[in-house]
Amino acid sequence: MDFASIAGILSGLSLIVAAIFLRGDLSNFLNIPGIMIVLGGTIASTLLTFPLGDVVKAFKAGLFVLYEANIDPNDMVKSIIKLSNISRRQGLFALGKIKTNNLILKKGCNLIADGAEEDIIRNALRTEIESLKHRHLNIQDVFIKMATFAPAFGMIGTLIGLVQMLNMLSDPSSIGPAMAIALLTTFYGTILSTLFFLPISGKLKARTMIEVINMEIIFEGAIAILKNNNPLMVFERLSSFIPPQDRTISEREVYKL
């Protein structure tokens, strides 16, 4: 559970509600047709822009980003060093029997156990990393595009309201409230973009960065195991991917893993 995200959304929304209550009535800021045109229009343009499968994946990822924990790169380094020790003691073939639900780690182990050449392992894992990056970028892109569609539909809603108001100028007392309603869609579009779509795309980007680091650790680790490198060298090589202050594995631990 990602408490910073929950705190961010709640504090952002309550600040806006508090600002509204200070000098007026919350009901002036609720306009169902306005919400429908902004939210509905944004979803419509998103369905047009991306294949349906990508939109579904993006929405799932956007929800899970608040719940799922990332794998700590330190744990990934530990797993690789363990595999390195196994392969040194029991031979490369032993890696074929490893159980893991990380598909790329599994693929790397299988390729090594099958006796694939370094070149093939490098290419296969590199392609996995590159296509994972592409898929993640694509999912971030869904929310980045939504962040541009929402204010555009906000403006479309405001233009509809303004045109309607300008055609009914005969009753001066209705001008103010009519214009207020017209502005609400711009208000909704800006909030959706600034407090939801842009932050979600940012959070997904942060998660991608950690996943890519884990993939790079698997990649370099697989090569190191194949070359039968000294575990300390493997550790020195892999720990470079983790910020110095976040490294939790000591050199002494390496041989005990």
Q: Specify the residue, 173 or 250, whose C-beta has the smaller distance to a second copy.
A: 173
Smallest separation (angstroms) from a second copy to the CB of 82 = 20
Name every residue whose Cβ is closer than 8 Å to that of residue 222 and which is 6 or more positions away in sequence. 108, 109, 111, 112, 121, 125
Smallest separation (angstroms) from a second copy to the CB of 202 = 3
Tokens 């490098």 appear where? 122
Q: Specify the residue, 213 or 249, whose C-beta has the smaller distance to a second copy.
A: 213
Q: Specify the residue, 36 or 63, whose C-beta has the smaller distance to a second copy.
A: 36
Smallest separation (angstroms) from a second copy to the CB of 231 = 13
- Rounded to whole angstroms, the Cα distance separating 251 from 257 reads 11
- Rounded to whole angstroms, the Cα distance separating 147 from 159 reads 19
Smallest separation (angstroms) from a second copy to the CB of 79 = 18
Smallest separation (angstroms) from a second copy to the CB of 27 = 10
User: Buried b / exposed e across 104-121, counting CB within 10 Å, b at 16+?
Assistant: bbbbbbebbbeebeeeeb
Q: Specify the residue, 95 or 242, whose C-beta has the smaller distance to a second copy.
A: 242
Q: DSSP alpha helices (H): ranges in 50-102?
A: 52-64, 73-90
CA distances from 51 to 45, 56, 74, 227 (A): 11, 9, 36, 42
Smallest separation (angstroms) from a second copy to the CB of 128 = 5
Q: How many CB atoms lie within 10 A of CB 42?
A: 25
Helix (H, G, I), strand (E, B) or coil at 234: helix
Q: How many CB atoms lie within 10 A of CB 218?
A: 25
Q: Specify the residue, 87 or 154, whose C-beta has the smaller distance to a second copy.
A: 154
Smallest separation (angstroms) from a second copy to the CB of 126 = 8
Q: How far apart are the first and last CA of the chain?
A: 29
Q: Specify the residue, 65 or 83, whose C-beta has the smaller distance to a second copy.
A: 65
Q: Specify the residue, 90 or 174, whose C-beta has the smaller distance to a second copy.
A: 174
